[in-house]
């Protein structure tokens, strides 16, 4: 798997680039935001050093071939506004999971929809995966809408699957199967 291809994806308003500890401050801006980290499965980053260490962990996972990560850059301002990821590769079933996180200032502006489109096209056309899936906390309606706009179908709901801030939330499981056009 050539991770450089993933890092070179671009669309109308955003492009991907490789993660770097040089960008730790920009990534920390959203990784340390309680509202952002609430539903994404990352622990809240308490300081810049912790964020840098997590970036190093993500880069190591990429090198090991278990994950793909990219910083999401807004073309207009050249600022890093989020992180995109493809992970949990199942080589036998030929599928993987996707995830994404954005700085709160960039929610609701279409960047998430563009990001998921880029990842989906890459996974199906370049990696030749059969299926992609994503799990979303049911209270995170914005994330669910991003998936739905990209043709992901709600496949199931796991009751009380997440326990966040002393409250249970359901997990919404979305999937998209490659439709080959011959």
Are the beta carbons of 131 and 168 closer than 8 angstroms? no
Asked if residue 146 is part of any domain, the answer here is no
The token pair that represents 116 in the structure block: 């998921």
Asked if residue 58 is part of any domain, the answer here is yes
Residue 181: which pLDDT band, with cuts at 50, 70 and 90? Answer: low
Name the E strands within the chain: 14-17, 68-74, 79-90, 95-102, 131-137, 153-164, 167-177
Asked if residue 70 is part of any domain, the answer here is yes
Asked if residue 7 is part of any domain, the answer here is yes
Asked if residue 166 is part of any domain, the answer here is no
167 to each of 38, 50, 67, 143, how far by Cα in Å?
12, 26, 30, 19
Asked if residue 95 is part of any domain, the answer here is yes
Predicted TM-score of the model (pTM): 0.94
Asked if residue 161 is part of any domain, the answer here is no
Asked if residue 93 is part of any domain, the answer here is yes
Residue 9 domain boundaries = 3-130
The least confident of 28-37, 78-87, 116-125, 137-146 is 28-37
pLDDT by residue (tens digit) across 87-136?
Answer: 999 999 999 999 999 999 999 999 999 999 999 999 999 999 999 999 99
Counted domains in the chain: 1
**Looking at residue 32, which CATH number applies to its domain?**
3.40.630.30
């Amino acid at each position: 798997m050539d991770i450089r291809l993933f890092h070179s994806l671009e669309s109308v308003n955003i492009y991907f680039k490789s993660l770097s500890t040089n960008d730790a401050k920009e990534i920390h801006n959203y990784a340390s935001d309680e509202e952002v980290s609430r539903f994404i499965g990352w622990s809240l980053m308490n300081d810049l050093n912790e964020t840098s260490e997590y970036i190093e962990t993500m880069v190591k996972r990429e090198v090991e071939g278990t994950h793909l990560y990219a910083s999401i850059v807004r073309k207009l301002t050249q600022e890093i506004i989020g992180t995109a990821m493809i992970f949990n590769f199942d080589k036998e079933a030929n599928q993987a999971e996707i995830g994404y996180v954005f700085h709160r200032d960039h929610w609701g502006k279409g960047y998430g929809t563009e990001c998921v489109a880029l990842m989906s096209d890459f996974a199906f056309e370049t990696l030749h995966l059969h299926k992609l899936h994503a799990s979303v906390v049911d209270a995170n309606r914005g994330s669910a809408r991003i998936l739905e706009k990209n043709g992901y179908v709600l496949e199931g709901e796991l009751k009380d699957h997440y326990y966040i801030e002393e409250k249970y939330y359901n997990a919404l499981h979305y999937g998209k199967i490659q439709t080959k056009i011959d």
